[in-house]
């Protein structure tokens, strides 16, 4: 039996989880359709998800259609939980992108579609809620074509839109549909176009259907279905499209094992549970799979997804998604066995742009809070814990205020720790302005360490991150010492001159040197006479920050792209409000009684704009915001207090690392 790993993605409230319920019902997995509002759906299993009526964590559920096992992954739609979607993208064979027939394409819809297109994931589009008042057919298609992709083809028509009796009828021998299929193939096949011009009758509908399937499986075209997850209209046609227009895998179970960990959870006893998509080979109970770290542990138990539930199994084979127990050191993004060419650690969405301090209400909970947040960071690495040892504070990164509320509730419900938060602040970045270099030589003042380290730092293209290169021969000292320098460079650059993470730069090691392992006559190893990796770890921050200070850095703040739809008569009051929030609007587009404003706004001001908008627009304003870029901060650069012993303050730094000056 073939397997299809399918993602369901959407903007929040487009009906994604309701569609998942309808698919399970149609496949015979459940006897009754759950409701998001009642908290009775299969995939929203967390108490918090049921309370809020939104998906917070991705969930997997399986059903069978004909000879295809579909592992369906329901993902969060709220932008605060985009990290959950990011991890799922790495394991998908195909996707269904849900769009509301009423609201049309929304901000998050565009973000998701861009990611799907970058990864060339075959995607069907399902326009949901055709039974709701205000549902549109042509308007929805136009919105998709203009805002998502022009490479779409509607697979049917609708009737009685906006009523409980709304219906969807698939195209069968429809002249207009056939014409669109011919245009589709002609766009990618000049020989076909010539043959069709010479003899139209030579082209059969079956041939055109095969063309559509081939193009859809290559993500060159995106078939569009309409329907309603509530009434079931159009869902049968969507299921047919899923099995015929997306590629199910027939992977090699005898090849070397290769899989990706896309989710880590905790069991009732606190044990780690790894969610793994297998791309090839087989994993069995008692196997010790190869991970990027050494002793990952032994698989003690396996569960696979089957017909709406999970069942214990002795193996996990290629194409399947399963849960593994026993891998105590496993992390999200780990590649099991043979690494794939596509890196599971690559980021497809913008990073979190907000940060806050988590404060326990009871002083005695400080230690427990660290442990609890560490466990939450295992499940969501992008909350990016940052501990300030000097002030005994813990920072977490955020996408938005809803995520903060979820963390607060999770800590209270699952760990019995009540917390508050300090004011949310914006996370800036630093980039080098010029080139700087520094070197400290072994056995020469003022270097107190048995290591020679020389580093040069210089700017790199925007978006390139941090690259480490060797300007010395690899064999000039043990590999462990080079590794210590590289790891410390990455760690040190988390806090630059102004306290922000330094990025978009290249660091080159220009000098190296060490003392080989030595001992006194007939004695044992003497660390005071021999270099260790610790010497390089302690010296590298001093050299690197000295070079960075020479290069100098600029601070950049995150900017969001916004689109505002407001009543035309509120345009006057909106402009000064945008100016106070440092937003930069472009020329407005007036359409009758409505006005559309687009522009850029600092991330720090987005929350304020959302709060002020109802009063400024009589509650009629609609705001869409997505991360756009980092922009140079004009005027005085904002600073962030360092959470370490500042290597720029040599005396205090040495006092800390050596316990003496």
pLDDT at 46 > cutoff 60: no
pLDDT at site 200: 56
Say what the alpha-carbon torsion angle 249, 254, 258, 259 is, to the nearest 10 degrees: 50
pLDDT at site 3: 87
pLDDT, mean over the chain: 85
pLDDT digits (tens, 9 = 90+) for 533-569: 999 999 999 999 999 999 999 999 999 999 898 999 9
Domain-wise residue ranges, the chain: 2-245, 258-337, 354-427, 430-551, 557-632
pLDDT at site 452: 96
Q: Tell me which fold the domain 557-632 belongs to.
A: Alpha-Beta Plaits (3.30.70)
pLDDT at 179 > cutoff 80: no
pLDDT at site 348: 57
Task: Specify the CATH class of 258-337 in words.
Answer: mainly beta
pLDDT at site 343: 46
Kindly report the CATH number that applies to the domain delimited by 354-427: 3.30.70.870
Distance, in Å, from the CA atom of 505 to the CA atom of 432, rounded to the nearest integer, reads 7
pLDDT at 639 > cutoff 90: yes
Q: How confident is the model at residue 188 (pLDDT cuts 50, 70, 90)?
A: low
pTM of the model: 0.74
pLDDT at 341 > cutoff 90: no
Half-sphere exposure (CA, 13 Å, Cβ side) for 498?
Answer: 20
State how far the alpha carbon of 392 is from the alpha carbons of 356, 358, 368, 524, in Å.
14, 11, 13, 40
Residue percentage of the chain with pLDDT more than 90 = 45
pLDDT at 70 > cutoff 60: yes
Rg of the chain over Cα atoms, rounded to whole angstroms, equals 28
DSSP notation for 525-559: B-GGGS--HHHHHHHHHHHHHHHHHHH-EEEEEEE
| Closest to 349 in 3D by CA, of 43, 90, 44 | 90
pLDDT at 52 > cutoff 70: no
Coil, strand or helix at 253? coil
| Closest to 87 in 3D by CA, of 109, 59, 110 | 59
Kindly report the CATH number that applies to the domain delimited by 2-245: 3.40.50.300
The mean-pLDDT minimum among 79-83, 356-360, 570-574 falls in 79-83
Round to the nearest angstrom and report the end-to-end CA distance of the chain: 69
430-551 has CATH 3.30.230.10 classification: yes
Examine domains 354-427 and 430-551 and report if their fold is the same: no
Phi/psi for 482 (5° steps) reads -65, -40
Identity of the highest mean pLDDT range in 257-261, 524-528, 655-659:
257-261
pLDDT at 425 > cutoff 80: yes
Angle at 328 between CA 324 and CA 334, to 5 degrees: 70
């Amino acid at each position: 039996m073939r397997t299809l790993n399918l993602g369901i993605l959407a903007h929040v409230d487009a009906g994604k989880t309701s569609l998942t319920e309808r698919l399970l019902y149609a496949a015979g997995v459940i006897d009754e359709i759950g409701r998001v509002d009642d908290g009775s759906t299969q995939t929203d299993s967390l108490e918090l998800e049921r309370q809020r009526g939104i998906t917070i964590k991705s969930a997997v559920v399986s059903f069978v259609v004909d000879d295809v096992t579909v592992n369906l992954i329901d993902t969060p739609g709220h932008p605060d939980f985009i990290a959950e979607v990011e991890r799922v993208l790495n394991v998908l064979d195909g996707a269904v992108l849900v769009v509301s027939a009423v609201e049309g394409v929304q901000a998050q819809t565009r973000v998701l579609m861009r990611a799907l297109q970058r990864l060339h994931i075959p995607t069907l589009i399902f326009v949901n809620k055709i039974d709701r008042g205000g549902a549109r057919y042509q308007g929805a298609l136009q919105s998709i074509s203009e805002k998502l992709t022009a490479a779409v083809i509607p697979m049917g028509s609708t009737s009685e839109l906006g009523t409980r009796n709304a219906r969807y009828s698939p195209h069968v021998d429809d002249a207009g549909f056939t014409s669109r299929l011919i245009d589709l193939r002609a766009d990618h096949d000049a020989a076909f176009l010539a043959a069709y011009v010479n003899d139209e009758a030579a082209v059969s509908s079956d041939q055109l259907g095969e063309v559509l399937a081939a193009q859809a499986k290559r993500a060159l075209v995106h078939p569009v279905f309409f329907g309603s997850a509530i009434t079931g209209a159009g869902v049968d046609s969507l299921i047919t499209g899923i099995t015929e227009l997306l590629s199910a895998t027939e992977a090699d179970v005898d090849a070397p094992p290769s899989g990706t960990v896309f989710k880590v959870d905790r069991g009732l006893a606190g044990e780690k549970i790894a969610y793994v998509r297998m791309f090839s080979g087989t994993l069995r109970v008692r196997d010790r799979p190869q991970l990027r770290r050494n002793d990952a542990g032994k698989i003690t138990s396996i569960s696979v997804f089957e017909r709406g539930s999970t069942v214990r199994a002795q193996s996990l084979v290629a194409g399947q998604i399963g849960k593994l127990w026993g891998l105590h050191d496993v992390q999200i993004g780990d590649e099991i066995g043979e690494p794939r060419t596509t890196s599971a650690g690559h980021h497809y969405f913008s990073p979190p742009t907000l940060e806050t301090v988590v404060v326990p209400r009871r002083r005695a909970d400080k230690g427990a809070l660290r442990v609890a947040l560490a466990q939450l960071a295992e499940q969501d690495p992008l909350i990016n814990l940052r501990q300030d040892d000097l002030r005994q504070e813990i920072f977490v990164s955020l996408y938005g205020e809803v995520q903060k509320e979820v963390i607060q509730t999770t800590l209270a419900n699952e760990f019995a720790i009540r917390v508050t938060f300090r004011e949310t602040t914006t996370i800036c970045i630093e980039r080098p302005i010029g080139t700087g270099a520094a070197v400290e030589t072994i056995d020469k003042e003022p270097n107190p360490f048995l290591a020679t380290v020389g580093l040069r730092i210089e700017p790199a293209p925007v978006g390139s991150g941090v690259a480490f290169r060797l300007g010395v021969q690899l064999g000039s000292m043990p590999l462990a010492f080079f590794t210590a320098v590289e790891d410390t460079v990455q760690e040190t650059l988390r806090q630059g001159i102004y306290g922000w993470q330094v990025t978009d730069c290249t660091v080159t090691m220009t000098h190296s040197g060490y003392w080989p392992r030595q001992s006194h006559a007939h004695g044992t190893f003497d660390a005071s006479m021999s270099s260790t990796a610790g010497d390089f770890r302690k010296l590298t921050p001093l050299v690197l920050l000295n070079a960075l200070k020479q290069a100098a850095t600029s601070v950049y703040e995150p900017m969001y792209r916004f689109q505002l739809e407001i009543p035309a008569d509120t345009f006057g009051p909106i402009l000064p409000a945008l100016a106070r929030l440092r937003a930069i609007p472009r020329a407005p587009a007036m359409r009758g009684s409505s006005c559309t404003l687009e522009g850029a706004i600092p991330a720090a001001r987005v929350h304020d704009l959302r709060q002020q908008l109802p009063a400024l627009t009589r509650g009629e304003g609609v705001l869409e915001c997505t991360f756009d870029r980092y922009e140079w901060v004009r005027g005085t650069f904002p600073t962030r207090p360092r959470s370490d012993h500042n290597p720029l303050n040599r005396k205090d730094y040495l006092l800390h690392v050596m316990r003496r000056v």
